[in-house]
Structure 1
Amino acid sequence: MLARVLIATLLAAVGAGVLFALRATPTAKSGQAEGPQASPGFRVELVYSPSLAKEGSWVSLAVDSKGRLIASDQYGLLYRITPSPLGGKPEQTSVEPIRVGAGAAQGLAVVGDDLYVMVNSQAAALPSGLYRVSDSNGDDQYDDARLLLRIEGAGEHGPHAVAASPDGKSLYLSAGNYTRSPRFKGSRVPAGWGEDQLLPRLDDPAAQANGIPAPGGWIVKCDLDGENCELVSVGYRNIYDLAFNADGELFTSDSDLDVDIGTPWYRPPSLLHVTSGADYGWRGGDGIWPTYYQDTLPPVAVMPPGSPAGIVAGTGTNFPEPYRDAIFIADWSRGAIYVAPLEPNGSSYRGECAPIAWDVGGVTDLVVRPQDGSLYFTVGGRQIQSGLYRLVWDGDGAEKQQPTSEERATTAVDSATATEQRSQRQKLEELHGDLAETAIESIWPALASPDRFVRYAAMTALERTKATDWQTRAYAEPNVLARCAALTALARRSQPAYPAKWADSLLELPFSTLSTEEQLEVLRTISLGVTRFTNLDDAQRARIATAVAGWFPSPRPQVNGELAKLLVRLESPAVIEPLLQKLADEPNSVQAIQAAVQLSAASAGWTPEGRAKLLDWFDAAANSFGKRAFYPYLVAARSRFVGGFGSEDRKVFAERLAPPKVAEEAASERQERKFTKRWTTDEVVAAIEASDKAGQDAEAASVRGRQLFVAIGCADCHAMRGEGASVGPDLTNVGRRYSVRDLARAITQPDDEIPDLYRQTTFVVDGRTITGRPTNMTATTISVTTDMRDPASAVKLERGAIESESVSTTSAMPANLIDTLSPDDLADLFSYLRADAEAGSGERPAATLP
């Protein structure tokens, strides 16, 4: 009964928006190879195609002890699948529903005879959280579901993974940054996390994650009953999955927003090694931590821009050796699977990502089935046609040559060294709990380790001790990295008992002779102190500013950026002219964007000529970057800059206070268009299919399609290949993961599915109905932007006057968007939207055996 309620409730709760699905079958004119593609030696097989109407759209996978797969519909039931034999047909696969009170899972794990389910639900009938599904009478049928741990959160940044520890005695859970962590009894992450920003944060103009404080997404460990929770790691935007490799080390993947591509704070999608207490530095807006900060950790590998989803280790595959030591990562937005063969790098790893399968659609999850050694994966989600596939090694391709005896000996030595270094880190991680005072002596030598993961483990352990026991020792520590690690721990733990000695210990270092790494750590340490310490007086801050100004500018770009931020925070006039020169020398560079954002927060040292130069740059940026999705950040930076003008400056620049007009050439492409007809999904599909058969010039059609993309207003809300706005989802690579029908349905029926990040809220205040997206919240007010294209549309509501609020089931995207287009126009528009898919097929770099 509950299962039927679950499905009905969940399906009724679905909103509207952009969809993702299997790509349409390629046509001959595009020059694409038919169907999914894979690296030499591999093939992709369709195992099963779930009925959308009856079985939903599958998003998560697990394997039980008998080799049967468990899958979950995103909004409905669980299913148990006995796959066809390798090389078999989909009809040989058998599927049975699991009718228990659990489903809507974005994470699944099997431990013994029990199935653990991470429910991600927006329905009251099935609260989000960790469930255990079991077979109570031994008849090989799951028949009981029990909620073990309730989690507050749901949706696309909600509860995601559950993974069993290598010994099968614990579970690891993960969630995105819209989800509160469960109450934990212990934390391997020291409680001193914070925003730690030198400059006021520029919030995301599209209001994504605004108001969400550190530490963002999290990973928690618990026992098999969902109890004794321990916080393991934080600082993530929206991690989806977890995987352990053969060494028992934990990995995940994360990504920054695509709309931030081109900004100095953007970090590409990354494979991350999850060590004890790690903070991976996600912060809202432009506050994302660079990977070189010593209080975060670097990625193991990076990927092209995309949306990483499921991950799995190659352990258990029958693939050649390099793949068995690799991590496989699903990329939902690019419709690809990446592989990152890992090699030891100190106590951690390093690797490079390359596609091993592509043109497969929006991949959501991956598992290895040891019974046949293949990699199984799901494509689907958001109520579209999904599929269950497997990546099979068939030996067709370059076989790996057997290593020589010399190579085997070298590998053995490297492996032994890596094991020893991991052991050193793990011993330090054992101290990430309550410590005895004697632990300081075992921690201290590791603070000087050249291995960042060892140094981070030592610094985290040091935070657990009494700072009064070692801070004087830190001031005199001769090793620069160790001194900075200890003083960073001090900043996160306490305050300096002797502020002058703290400043002396950092300012006396021979900064100009230090390595880039050492300089960056010195500057981060000073920044944390300046940000956190309340017992630094004005004289000490002025002394720091004078010393730092003597190091500025630097020929090292990363160092220069950190110096500039620090000087702006310390209100030093020395920062103005060098940054203005950067704007003049490289006006369209990432460094120029960084300089302009920093200058926008500067309060000292301005002359009218200097202010005019920065206004000139912002005016030019309207043309240089006006079409880029990140441009609203520059609008916000300019607004901050102008907001700092005094009365005299406002008189001087009275005619320039208003922001410049953006992308006039794009605006000229907007046209008043006449109604053609109200298009249906089927009619759009028929028009596109007719165009494909006609064999039109795809390149010319794509050019016309881009003009239509602007003319009918798509670019007002959506970015495409770096151009456009960030009000709605970025549509770059949309052709890789959407079929023609799914695209057509998303355009003609936008209310059918609304991505969580783009849902609107309806408020009733004094009998008035106000629908929009909350963009700023205080304890007493909520600002609601009713038109995300126009920040001035924000309405401030008093919380006490709100009579009700509810999630709107109406998309901000108009349903009549294409009603002015002819069949030829539609073909051109779709040619533009699908251009990435067509250009990306055929030959492409692929993972190959070394």
Structure 2
Amino acid sequence: MTSRFLLLMVFWVSFVHAESAPQWIWGPAGAENEVRFFRKTFTVPPGAMGGDVVLAADDEAEVSVNRQRLGSNNSWKKPTRLKIRSVSRGENVLEIRARNLSGGAGVLARIEFLMRDAPRVDFVTDSSWQTSSDGVSGWTPVQLLGVVGTPPWGPISLEPVATPVDGISVKEGFRLELVHSARPGEGSWISMTRDDQGRLIISPQGPESLLRLTIEQGKLAKMERLETQVGGAMGLLHAFGALYINGRGPDGYHLYRIRDADGDGRYESTQLLRRWTGSGGEHGPHALVKGPDDRIYAVAGNFTDVPSDLAPHSPVAHYAEDLALPRLEDVNGFGAGRKAPGGFVLSLDRDGQDTRLFSAGQRNAYGIAFNADGELFSFDSDMERDWGTPWYRPSRIQHLVSGSDHGYREGSGKWPDYYADSMPPVVDVGIGSPTSIRFGTGTAFPARYQKALFGLDWVFGRLIAVHLQEQGAGYTGRVETLFRGGAMNLTDLEVGPDGALYCITGGRGGQSGLYRLTFVANSASEPSAAVVAGAKEARAQRRQLEAVHGQVNAGWLASGWSQLGSADPMLRQAARIALESQPVATWVEKALAEENPKIGLSALLALARCGDGAQQVALLKALGRWPLDALDEEGFLTQLRVIEVAFARHGIPEALKPMVIEKLGRQFPASTWPRNRELSQLLVALGDGEVVPKILQLRDVSRTWQERMHYTAALHGMTQGWTPALRQRYFAGFRQIPSGWGHIPAAYEQWFLDVDQKPNPGAGFDPLIKRLEQKAFALIPDAEKGPIAELMKSPPSAVPAPTVPAATPSRPNGNRAWKFDDLADVLSTPLSGRNYARGQQVYQLSQCGVCHRFQGAGGATGPELTGVSSRYSRADLWRSIVDPNAVISEQYQSMVLTLKDGKEITGRVLEDSPTQIVVGVDALTDRKVTVQPSEVRHRVVSKVSSMPEGLLSAWGREDILDLLGYLESNGQEESPIFKRR
């Protein structure tokens, strides 16, 4: 239908639907190119919490309140929602300037105010509105053309809508339904739990109230706002007749318990149970679950401090960095200075006391869940800037057992999965941003899905089912995608009383929705999970060992010692942690005298971890009982790990250094990558000059990025063993990045293909290479720097010079301050017929790549843009461009440092050490400022994004649409977005 009318809507959603419907209005008789003005005087009701204006025009219109322009719209089919920014207590005037290009004309409007304790208050277009031809005089009553829904316009939606299910790929046999789209005032949802009456309780991320939803027959029957003192919850748990919340309350972001003492459905009592410290935020305390032991388990991210009041019988007790070489920090300073144990899980009693450190060494798991056998699991996150590095860890399913350390350390310090004191993953999932997990227990799904672990990926909008397979006292897993769709920012899930799986979307201000997943096929043909003989018994043995964790048990050495040599690594590790719980004096001699290599190596690893320097020499000599040549791969790597931990914790005995160098040097280079990884870094730590040519040879013949970077990083701080020729060879390797650095491992490539992404290194890859080169150069004696400095001036051979497309942008005259609603008419319709070359040019000339990485190239100071359309809707992406300060991820927050002399420095903290603080103050020029910690009076997080406003002010509408198409297509010229209509 041809556009004929102008629609203005004003909309602020409440929990009570307004009964008054807006009417189409206009002046005496519409004419082509007619401009008319409309106005409404209104008084804001007492107790109003805010208002929105939603404007939709056929053909053009702009709206203002009290002469303050709010925005515009040029499509009556798609109303534009605008926030009313300023109103007075008395009378306020809303004014509309409307233009009709052809045909008839009309205006539809509604002003809504959400009330704190009352139904929504509306002011709609009706006979009380006035119109004028010039907006100055001659005001007369408007002409009424009919209520909303009147032909020829028909029904139009005045409500925001979450991602439709018709654009989501769902596994055959399952059905996905959109139950409810969050309305203004309901917030952007990040967590959910189910109460003892089967109702869903949802927390928005912002200041909005908690919501309680009653679901009947798969439909939303009732929504209630819960007036509580705590909100912004990243963890919700209804247990023991109360609601536990990791959220923002009267005392800050901590663990609270709120209760409905009188059973009236309201939470009157608020109690602070535990204070959290650390920088928190999205890497702070998260999910809460009730364990089979009637204790509460809380998972916290890697920016959360371990509580200082841990119970003395905590299973995790002897953690440290345990690295052979100093770790390399993230180039942007993310996590810099944070030490072990990374993210962790606490076990607490119902009052938040008797706090035990149950498991550690994760990055930033958002959710944890127990299966039907009482085993705890998590879905841990990856670090996208680490893509391509040897220490990159994909998002993964972790089996969290008593005392386990999963090996996460910041920067390059992440442990390989084969370390004997690290718990390997159940299964690697790949790239993504995990949020919540739940087991299928209680679902009306086939048996194998009832036993499956369901996990959410926020960034790629997918729900996975992990089918666990018993393996000894642990598990392996297989990953299956159940549904996936663009702009599905999945945050939490719950099993409903109807057996359906309910999921919510939201976070970082995004549109939220409640979805319902059901199984609709015949389940008779669905296979059941296989039962592994002996697995139940193995888990029982492991739990017997875990009962000793943190407990002194004089009889355990006699009964449990042999389990240190179990063929099952889960039992072996549980036994080692039990051993570490006993006084070292009671077992040190037994460990040093042990003849069995499996038992002995486990015992000596325990001694390295919790002994002291007095036993160092005896420990290293005891290892000589088992020559490396006589050990299998597992034993070989375990012995190297014992040496590494002993050196990291107690230093390198000078008297034994030649012996250790000779012993390890004979084995290097070895036949496997894990052996070479450990031997190379140990020999560098020992200062063995003869290792330099060996490592360079391995680097130059290695097949993958990861191996080449490891060897390059291992040598960057080495000062012994260099000749001019070896230095030339080392620095020449920096000229061959990235394609000259070998192949991509098949598993790494598959992780990207699983989500339709092109494999590429992360945003931290190139800056890290640059940092390694600079640090290595700084260690060269001044007299020898000349030839290397000349070599460093040559461009990397594998990095082509950027090309500028020939297309000419359609720049308008002058600059334009773009607003969100300026593109309202195209924010939810598919793009087509766009110009690829121009979109690429807008991206390049606007210097987006200075801060953002896209398809393997660009900076690292802003969010990764590869695959951005799978994380954000076009509306969310456009909003972040025109209003970069609205939502700032903590990964990219700037800090404001106030110095003692009164000066302020604002920027990204790139290095934060006891000796200096380095702040990146300008991403475009790479300008940095260095200050001493003693100069800083205080620091606060900046509320201003490092992304400047108005970056696209010189570009026209068509240019910007081409840019959005370029980003949504992932830079693929063959995308349908660029096909001519």
Class of the TM-score when normalised by the shorter of the 2 chains: 0.7 to 0.9
Greater share of helix residues, 1 or 2? 1
CA distance in 1, matches of 2:736, 2:669: 24
- Is 1:519 matched with 2:636? yes
Match of 1:376 among 476, 499, 502: 502
Matched, 1:456 2:582: no
Q: Provide the secondary structure at the position in 2 that maps to 1:546.
A: helix
Q: Is 1:105 matched with 2:237?
A: no
Relative to 1, partners in 2 of residues 1:145 and 1:736: Cα closer, same or farther, differing over 3 Å?
Answer: same
> Which residues of 2 match residues 426-575 of structure 1 at below 5 A?
426-495=543-612, 497=614, 499-534=616-651, 536-575=652-691
1:428-451 per-position Cα deviation (integer Å, ceiling 9, x unaligned)? 111112313332122311111122
**1:355 has 2:487 as partner:** no
Q: 68, 85, 109: which one pairs with 2:199?
A: 68
Map of 1:119-134 to 2, 5 A cutoff?
119=247, 121=248, 125-134=250-259
Give, in whole Å, the separation in 1 of the partners of 2:793 and 2:580.
48
Shift in alpha-carbon separation, 1:790–1:251, aligned structure 2, 3 A: farther
Alpha-carbon offset, residue 830 of structure 1: 1.8
CA distance in 2, matches of 1:435, 1:702: 68
Between the aligned partners of 1:442 and 1:342, the Cα distance in structure 2 is: 31
Match in the other structure for 1:678: 817
Alignment of 1:168-567 (within 5 A): 169-182=294-307, 183-359=309-485, 361-369=488-496, 371-395=497-521, 399-400=524-525, 414=532, 417-495=534-612, 497=614, 499-534=616-651, 536-567=652-683
- The amino acid across from 1:433 in the alignment is G
1:189/1:279 contact within 8 Å kept? no
Alpha-carbon offset, residue 667 of structure 1: 4.8
Structure with the largest fraction of strand: 2
CA contact (8 A) 2:332 2:909 kept: no
- Quick one: structure 1 residues 24 and 372, their matched pair in 2 at CA, closer, same or farther if it must change by over 3 Å? closer
- 1:45 partnered with 2:177: yes
Q: Cα deviation per residue 1:48-98 (whole Å; 9 max; x = unaligned)?
A: 2121x2111111111112211111111232111002413x4xxx4311011
Any conservation in 2 of the 1:627–1:724 contact (CA below 8 Å)? no
| Residues in 2 aligned to 1:346 and 1:188: alpha-carbon distance in whole angstroms | 25
For 1:156-194, what per-residue CA distance to the aligned partner results, in whole angstroms no more than 9, with x for missing partners?
111111111124x21111111112233322353443311
Change (3 A) 1:521 1:34: same
Deviation per CA, 1:337-374, whole angstroms, max 9, x where unpaired?
Answer: 111011111111111112111116010011112x2111
In the alignment, which of 142, 146, 160 is matched to residue 267 of structure 2? 142
CA drift of 1:125 comes to 4.2
Q: Which AA in structure 2 matches 1:744? A: W
Q: In 1, distance between residues paired with 2:536 and 2:884?
A: 53
Q: Using a 3 Å threshold, how does the CA distance of structure 1 residues 610 and 573 change in structure 2: closer, same or farther?
A: same
8 Å CA contact 1:650–1:657 kept in 2: the answer is: no
SS in 2 for 1:54: coil
Kindly report the root-mean-square deviation, in angstroms, between the aligned alpha carbons of the 2 structures.
Answer: 3.1
Residue 739 of structure 1 pairs with residue 867 of structure 2: no
Paired residues of 2:229 and 2:250 also in contact (CA < 8 A):
no
Change (3 A) 1:822 1:507: farther
Of 653, 658, 661, which residue of structure 1 is paired with 2:788? Answer: 653
Structure-2 change in CA distance of 1:279 and 1:569 (3 Å): same
Find the residue that maps to 1:601 and give its secondary structure. Answer: coil
Over 3 Å counting, the alpha-carbon distance change for 1:516 and 1:423 in structure 2 is same
Q: Which runs of 5+ in 1 are unaligned?
A: 13-21, 27-32, 843-850
Offset, 1:679: 2.4
Aligned equivalent of 1:796:
930
Alignment-mate amino acid for residue 256 of structure 2: Y
Looking at structure 2, the residues matched to 228 and 548 of structure 1 have their Cα atoms a distance apart, in angstroms, of 45
Secondary structure (helix, strand or coil) at the match of 2:683 reads helix
Pairs within 5 Å for 1:621-660: 621=737, 629=763, 630-656=765-791
Tell whether the 8 Å contact from 1:688 to 1:830 is kept in structure 2 after alignment. no
- Change in 2 beyond 3 A, CA 1:489/1:666: same
Show the counterpart of 2:909: 774
Determine helix, strand or coil for the equivalent of 2:922.
coil
Q: Which of 825, 828, 843 is residue 962 of structure 2 equivalent to?
A: 828
2:210 aligned to which of 64, 70, 78: 78
Question: In 2, are the aligned partners of 1:188 and 1:276 still within 8 Å (CA)?
Answer: no
Counterpart for residue 805 of structure 1: 939
Match of 1:114 in 2: 242
From 825, 829, 833, the counterpart of 1:696: 833
Aligned counterpart in structure 2 of residue 609 of structure 1, from 714, 722, 725: 725
Structure 2, unmatched stretches of 5+, are 1-45, 51-82, 84-159, 742-759, 977-981
Preserved contact between residue 622 and residue 662 of structure 1 (Cα < 8 Å): no
Moved more, 728-737 or 708-717: 708-717
Give the Cα separation in 2 of the matches to 1:145 and 1:286: 42
Larger relative contact order, structure 1 or 2 (CA cutoff 8 Å, min sep 6): 1
Aligned to 1:784: 919
Identity %: 34
Q: Aligned residue pairs: how many?
A: 794
Q: Match for 2:200: what amino acid?
A: L
> Which residue identity does 1:760 align to in structure 2?
S
Write the distance in 1 (CA, Å) between the matches of 2:797 and 2:828.
37
CA contact (8 A) 2:174 2:518 kept: yes
Q: What one-letter code is carried by the residue in structure 2 that aligns with 1:782?
A: I
TM-score, reference length from structure 2: 0.76
Write the deviation string for residues 237-278 of structure 1: whole angstroms up to 9, x where unpaired: 211111110001111121221111111000110010111111
